[in-house]
Structure 1
Amino acid sequence: MGFPAEKWHGIEDFPRYRRHRYLGKFYPNYKLLNLSVLMISLDHLLSLITLLASLGSGLMAGLFFVFSCSIMKALAELRSGVGITAMQAINRAILNPVFVLVFWGTPVFCVLVMISTFLHWQGPSSIYLIAGGAFYLVGGLLTTLIIHVPMNNALATVIPSDPGAASHWESYVNRWTSWNHLRTVMTLLAMALFIAALY
């Protein structure tokens, strides 16, 4: 059933909220159509946010993976003074705009994904999204803030030539790397869950 032509006269001058109400009176399916369009738009938005969360998780997982597989092993083979100096330099250099954007942007997308999922539950894929967000927030963000950042701050105060520097460095490498293995696995799982939800 088409919309009566005479009812269109002057409708373009209506405010948007009055236009929707006016059209709903004469076209019963109009509100349903608008709701369908809104739901499709929300689905597209959720997919985009999920994609960004997946990309961010993948980037961080790759960074953590490189530290676990090569950087920390290489630093552990150096003399303690050299290793400490190198790690201190790495910890300073990594605080750049690109890293900060990815590091803080990814958990924001994860939170948005989780909120959107709770508001628009879609079965098994929603479980993947919630789990992916939780894995990243716990493994990628909280582990970094609670474990690695305090360790890095403590290392920044160590003078490589001090007598106790060698024992501090050995303890630092072992603990830092062990926790880094964990956040590597958890951020990889987060990425995999986000990808699974998209498909």
Structure 2
Amino acid sequence: MIEGPYFVLVVLSALACGVSAGVFIAFSAFVMKGLAALPPERGIAAMQAINAAAVNPAFLVVFLGAAALCAVVAVVTFVLWPDQGTVALLLGSALQLVGAFGVTVVANVPRNEALSKLDPDAPDSVGPWRRYASEWLLWNHVRGAASLAASAAFVLALT
């Protein structure tokens, strides 16, 4: 049974992954669709502003905090190897670390960096913007699904 500080750690991990999932799903459900509906120069400028604003303590605490919590859960699970929930705990940790954190690092951040170099008013920015919006959204779906599944896995481990 999961109890004491380990219980608190798993609850915090479930919550952090759930909040991350909410952010990612909001972007997938309406933010990116709204930006894609704008004229390209406005969509590019808006997403550049969003990407710049996203690097703030509140987002970083949730995003990096979820990854750190999941890493700790994985290590503690390997050390304690509880009677119940081991697979769910390790699965939840892996989903968040690989499916959300890893995908962000290898797929979304490089696209954000490339977008930051575009001139919103340049006519040749339209093609890269459309490609960015499509590819970024696909990877964001992966992040949202992974975070939601990680949160669910932690909840299942607690039941």
TM-score bracket for the superposition, by shorter chain length: over 0.9
Q: Distance in 2 between matches of 1:124 and 1:73?
A: 42
Q: Distance in 1 between matches of 2:94 and 2:100?
A: 10
Q: Which amino acid aligns with 1:107?
A: A
Q: Which amino acid aligns with 1:79?
A: P
* Bigger RCO of structures 1 and 2 (CA < 8 A, at least 6 apart): 2
The aligned residue for residue 10 of structure 2 is: 50
Question: Structure 1 residue runs of 4+, over 3 Å off?
Answer: none
Q: Report matched runs for 1:55-134 at 5 Å.
A: 55-134=15-94
**How many Å apart are 1:107 and its aligned residue?**
0.9
**How many Å apart are 1:124 and its aligned residue?**
4.2
> Deviation digits for residues 38-76 of structure 1, max 9, x if unmatched?
xx9x83111111111111101110000000000011111
Answer yes or no: is 1:157 the counterpart of 2:117.
Answer: yes
SS at 1:196's partner residue? helix
The aligned residue for residue 136 of structure 1 is: 96
Unaligned runs of 5+ in 2: none
Q: Which amino acid aligns with 2:14?
A: S
**How many Å apart are 1:163 and its aligned residue?**
2.2
Q: With the length of structure 2 as denominator, give the TM-score of the two structures.
A: 0.96
Rg larger in structure: 1
SS at 1:164's partner residue? helix
Q: Which amino acid aligns with 2:26?
A: V
**How many Å apart are 1:126 and its aligned residue?**
0.9
Q: With the length of structure 1 as denominator, give the TM-score of the two structures.
A: 0.77
* C-alpha RMSD of matched pairs (Å): 1.3
Q: 1:188 aligns with which of 148, 151, 154?
A: 148
Q: Distance in 1 between matches of 2:14 and 2:125?
A: 39
Q: Distance in 2 between matches of 1:107 and 1:183?
A: 12
**How many Å apart are 1:87 and its aligned residue?**
0.2
**How many Å apart are 1:102 and its aligned residue?**
1.0
The aligned residue for residue 18 of structure 1 is: none
Q: Distance in 2 between matches of 1:102 and 1:73?
A: 24
Unaligned runs of 5+ in 1: 1-39
